[in-house]
Structure 1
C-alpha cells in the first residue's frame, strides 16, 4: 500500500529488532550528494517500510534516502515521505533489503561521465550539475573531462581494455585527434598504461614538490602571469611550461604570509625552505587550552569522526578525505593561532610551508638557541670559507710535556672506553653520529657530509655546525626523527664522481647502492638528472649514432649517419631523451629504457609507411613512449634543452 508518512515516524531498518537493513558498511557514504539530488529532483522512488507499532515504521529499502531526508529537513520534521507499506515479518523485510542491495546495478563510470557530458551539452552549467548531484566543482570538471574523452578511449575503458587510471591520463590531451593517435601508437606497442600515456604527453617531468605548487598558487593566477599549463585533474602530473615562474609565485605568497604573521605580532615567521632541515622537528609550544569559538569544537569533532568512519570503508573517496582534512586543518589553524597571547607571540615564531598544495602554518615555534646563526669573522685566507674567531683565550700556564706517542696511546684508550659505553646507549649514539655529521670540526667524531648528494652548508641539517650545539639539538629529536635525518645525511654523503655503472667491479659501493634502489625511484631520478645536451655534445659521432639506434631503431641511425657531427648531435638531443634512453654509465640493474626491439618507424620525409611487423611483442619492461621524431633544422640551430629535475 502506497502512503505518505511523516519523516519523524520513520526509523532506520537497523534499529528494528535484530535489524532489517542488510547494508552495514557505507550507510553514510556520499549522503551529501544524495541529499543534493533529492533536493533538486524530489523523491523518485518510494521507501519500502514495515510497521513497528505505535505509529512508527522501519525502513527495509531506502535507509540512505532516509538519512538524506534528515540532512535536508531534520530528524524531527513532519515532512511527508512517499512510502510503500509491506505487512511482513522481520525476516521477510530483511530479505527485501538484501535483494535490493545485491541486485542493484550501478552505472558503469563511463556511462555516468557520458551522461554528465550530455547534461553539459543540454546547457547545464558546472555549478548547476554540482548542486543537483552533490558534487564539488572539481568533481564536475573531472566527470566532464572523462565524458569528453575520444570514443576509442571510452570504449576501451568500458571493455576493460585499459584501466580507469589510464583513461584519466588521456585527459591530459585536450583534443580527440591527439588522444586517438596516441591510443593507436601505444596499443600497437602493448603499452597502454597510465605512466606511458603521461610520459608521451610530456607530463611527469617535474618532481612533486614543484607540481603541488600549482594547487597552492592557482592555475588561473598562474595563467594570468603568462604561464601555460595543462592541469591533471586527477593528480599532480601537470604539464607546466614555466616552473621557475610557478616557484616564484609560490614564494611571493609564502613571503606575504610571513609578513602578515609578523604584523600580527609574532616575533619571527620564516619559510620552511629557508630554515635548516631540522627545523621541521622544532617542537611547537604546548598549549594548556585551545581557544575555540562558536561551534568550532563540535565541527572539528564531527569532521574527525567522519574521517575515521571514512577510513573504515573498503573503497572511500579521496576527494572526501581531502575535504575533511581541509576542514580539520582550517579549524585547528584558526583556533591555535588565536590561543597565544600578545606576550607569547612576541617571544615565539611561525614556520610556513606548502604541503599537498595547501598552505601549512606551524604556530608558536621557539627557535632553539643552538640554531641561531653563528656570528664569526671570516678569515680571508681560509680557502674553505670556514669562519675563524678573532677572539683568543688566555694561554694556560706551561705544563709538563708528554711525548706525542703517549698522547696517541691515551687517546686510543679513551676512544675504546667511550665506544664501549656509547654502544650501550643507542639513542645517544645516534645523536652523537648525527651531530658529528653536522658539525664543521668533528670534535672527536670523524664523520663528514662532504659528498655530492647534498648541496648546502652543514648547519642546514640541524641548525648549527658547532658540535656542542648540534648535539643538544640532536638529543631533542624523537627516535623516528633522528632516523629521518640520518637518511638525509646519507644522501648528502654520496660521491660517485669516479664511478660508473657499466663496469663489473663487485666491490664498487656506487654500483651496489644504485642496484639496491627501487627502479621506480632511481630510473626517473636518473632521467631527470641526465643532461642530454652535454652528453651528446661531448661524445663521438659513433656513440651518438649508437644511441639513436638503441632508442629509435637502425633505420633512423642509418639515415642520420649521412649527416655531419653537428646535425647528428642536434637530432640526438631532440629525439633520444623522450624515449627514456640513458647511457650505459647511468644504467642500474633495474634500468627500464631502450634498447628494446622496436617496430620500424614511418619515413620522416614522406613516402609510404614501413610495413607493420608481424605479431606484437610487448617489451620486457614498461618503456617510455617516444614523442614524434623531429629532424634538426640545421647543424647550427640550438637544440631544445631537455627538462631536468630541480
Structure 2
C-alpha cells in the first residue's frame, strides 16, 4: 500500500511592532560586508521593506511565549529599521512584516546560515540590463548612483556594457566570453564592427582584451595625436566627429573615429593660420602642410631677423635686474650656508632676465616682401613656423657679375643633389620600386629603397655625431685634402665628405625630420644663422674675431652637412662607405647609441615576414620567434617591435662593420657580428618572460598553449 505524501505547511506571516523585536545573538553574520547599515536604511526609506524578518517567539519561565520575538535572520534589516527609529523617521511601534517560526526541525543558527548561504548573487549582465532599463525609464546616472550607492562612473560603465552587441552579451551570459572581453568591446557602439572583431578574435589564439581594443581602434586616431591636439576635440565633435572612449582603462582621451574629418579640419585651420601669418607679417608666400619632407628648404636662400632693440624702459629694467642678480650671486657664492630665500630670489631674477632677453626677431621689410615662410605641425600639436626663405625666382636682379656668398642656406646649394618624393632619388634618378613581398621562409635581400632609407637615417645621425667632434671633423677634411694633393686624380671620391659642401637631401625618407638628430642639426643651424653677419662681405672679419672653440664648432657643423653615407643601387660608392665606417669608428658612433630602434614604420612594416622573424631570432632567440610566427604580417611587425625594444638589434645596413679577423674553430667570423649586434648569444640574458618554463625541456605538451598565451601577455 502506497504511503501518502506528507504536505508541507509554511510558517505564517505576522505584523509585529518593532518594539517587540530584539536581535538574536545566534545570527551567524558577524562580519560587516556589502552595503552599509546607513545605506540600507536609506533604501528602506525609499522603497519600503522588500523582505520580511525571520523571527522566533521568546519563551518565558513557564515555557510559554512571552510576547517578544528574537530575530535570527535579517539582522542587517533590523539594524537599519532601528536606525530609522533613532532618526525619528519611523515610529518604534511600526508593525514589521515577519515570518514567525515556532518549533521545527532546524535550529536558530541553521536558519540564519541557510538564509545567507542560499542567497544567489545577481549575474552582472542582469545588473547591467536593469540599470539600462531604469535609465530608459527616465532616471539619470546620478539618481541611479544615489539609489544603489555606487559612483556615477560605475553607473556609466555598466550602462556602456549593456550597450554592447546583444549577440556578444548572449555569449557572455552563456560563459562563452569573459567580462574583461566585454569591457574591451564597449569602447565602440558599432555592433557590426564589434561582431566582426569577435569573429576574427574567436578564431585566433590571442583573445586578450588588449588585442580586441587594438583591432577596434586600428583605423582610428588617438586623441593624443598632434592633429587632434592642434584642432582640439571640442572642434572635432562640434563638426560631427565621434570619439571612442574606454571607461575601463586609461585611454589618454580616447580615439577619433573619423580620420578624414580630422584631416579636413586640420587643413582648414592650417590654411586660416597661414593666411593670418601672411597678412600679419607681410610675407610674399606662406606654405602650409601637416608635414614637410626633410630638406624641403633645399634651393632656397635663408635670411634671418635681428632681435628687437630694447626700449629705454626695458634696458633700464634689464640693467637693474642684472646688477641685482650679479651682486646677490657673488654674495651667495661666499656664503657658507644654504639659504632657500636667496635661491628663490636668484631664480626669480634669472627668469626675469630670460623674459627680457627673449625678444622677437625683426626681419628686413624688403626681404619679407620677396620671402616666405613654412607653417606646419610640431610633434606635440603646436604650430611650427619657419620664416625667412627666398625662392630663386624672387631674388633681386643683380646687374653686376658678383656672386653674393651668403646666397646659400648654409646646408649647401647644389640643386642637382636636391630630391623630390614620389619615386625620385636624392640625385634625381628613379628609385627602384620595392618588389612584391614573397610569403615564403627565404631570407631575400633587402630592397634598394629600404637600404637607401636606412642609410639616409644613418647619414643624418652620423652627421650630428661628427658635428659634436670638431677634432675629427678637421681630420676628416684634412684626409680628403691630402688625397687630392699628394695622390693620383680620383682618390678624392674615396672620402664620404663632399667637401664642396653640397648637401644631399633625403626628402624620400618619411619622418626623418622628426628624429632627434635632425632636430639638433636644425637648432644648431638656426643658432649660427642668427649669429652670422647678414652681409657676406662681413663674414671674413666675423670668423677672424671668433675664438678657437667657436671656429672649431662652426667648422664641424659645416663639414658635417656634407657627409653622405647613403647606399643607392646606382651609386653604391664602396670606398666612400668604407670611409664612413672609419669616421664612425673614430668618433665612437653607432646607431644604437644614437637612439635608433626598429619600429613598424622605419623597418619591420616594410620588410618580409622572414626578415621580421630573422630579426627577432637574432635578438631574442628561436623561442621568441616562435611566439609570433603564426601572426599576420601587420600583427607580427607590431609584436616584433615590442620584443625588440631595448635589445640593441640593428638591420645589417646600420651595423658598424668590424674588421675581419682570421676565423678560428670554424665560426666564420660569427663573433664579429655578435659584438656589434648584442643578442641572446652575446651573453645578454633574455627577458624573464621568454625563459620562464624553458628549463624544462620536459614540460608537458598540453601546457604549451597556455604558456604561449602567458608569454604574449607579458610581451604586451
TM-score range, shorter chain: 0.3 to 0.5
TM-score by length of 2: 0.34
